[in-house]
Amino acid sequence: MSSIWTEQYALYAGAAMSLPGVIFMLTCRKLWNETAESSRFNIDMNHKDFKVWAALASHLSFIIGTILFVMGTICGGIALGFPPALAMLGGLSGAITQLFFMVIFNTSPMGMPEVSGPPVPARILLIGVEAMLAFNAYTGFNAGYYTDLPKFLGFVAYAVLIPSIIAKKHRNAGWEAQPKLKSA
């Protein structure tokens, strides 16, 4: 049996990975709570550093959600008929936007201060990859190889706006607004 007929469905299933990503981003302040409440941890919520560690755990959960969202968005772009390089550009744009936010404002997407993003070598690589993908898109659209610019721009807007809106929601709540543990 050929798997070719299943390929489109597999891409749709891959695109569904963006949904757990959105859930991780939306619930990042709560994802770590069950683990923290485990009997093997002795967490003192009154400790002066609790809010910082809670915010860091929330930040990392948000980043995991962003990565899942990017994976799903790339699959979704391919399922929509974009060539892989355009799907990569669109999908990665959401993560790159969050990276730029951290670098420019020295703040996590959720608003935690003094979080400047990944190490400089990783930043350079990520920006280099995004630049190459953007250059490819620019030359491809100008040469007429890629033709549906409005559809592509809508795809990029989706990839950028979803994580950005969720991050803004968390920033509005304040980085210190972490949930209380049941065991506290």
Answer whether 108's CB lies under 8 Å from 59's CB: yes
Number of Cβ within a 10 Å radius of residue 95: 20
pLDDT for 39: 63
Cα(23)–Cα(69) distance, integer angstroms = 9
Q: Do residues 93 and 156 touch, judged by C-beta distance below 8 A?
A: yes
Q: Is residue 179 part of a domain?
A: no
Q: To which residue do tokens 């996590």 refer? A: 108
Provide the residue range defining the domain that includes 57: 4-173
Residue 142's pLDDT is what?
92
**What values do phi and psi take at 41, rounded to 5?**
-105, 140
Per the domain annotation, does 178 fall within a domain?
no
- pLDDT in the model for residue 170: 93
- What confidence score (pLDDT) does residue 1 get? 45
What would the pLDDT profile of 46-77 be if each residue is shown by its tens digit?
A: 777 888 888 898 999 999 999 999 999 999 99
Length of the chain: 184
Q: Quickly tell me which residue has 């990017």 as its tokens.
A: 70
- Residue-level pLDDT at 44: 72
Angle CA 118–124–128, to nearest 5: 130
Residue 181 is assigned to a structural domain of this protein: no
Q: Is residue 184 part of a domain?
A: no
Q: What are phi and psi of 3, to 5 degrees?
A: -95, 0
Task: Specify burial of residue 44 (Cβ count, 10 A radius: 0-12, 13-18, 19+).
Answer: exposed
pLDDT at 154: 96
182 belongs to a structural domain: no
The closest of 158, 156, 167, 160 to 61, measured between CA atoms, is 167
**Residue-level pLDDT at 42:** 73
What's the structural domain count of the chain? 1
The alpha carbon of residue 115 and the mean position of all alpha carbons in its chain are separated, in whole angstroms, by: 16
Give this prediction's pTM: 0.89
* DSSP state letter for 180: P
Output the CA–CA distances (angstroms, integers) from residue 102 to 128, 129, 131, in the order listed: 17, 18, 18
Measured between alpha carbons, how far is 62 from 143 in angstroms, rounded to an integer?
38
Please, how many CA atoms are within 13 Å of residue 53, restricted to the half-sphere of its CB?
11
Which residues of the chain are modeled with pLDDT < 50? 1
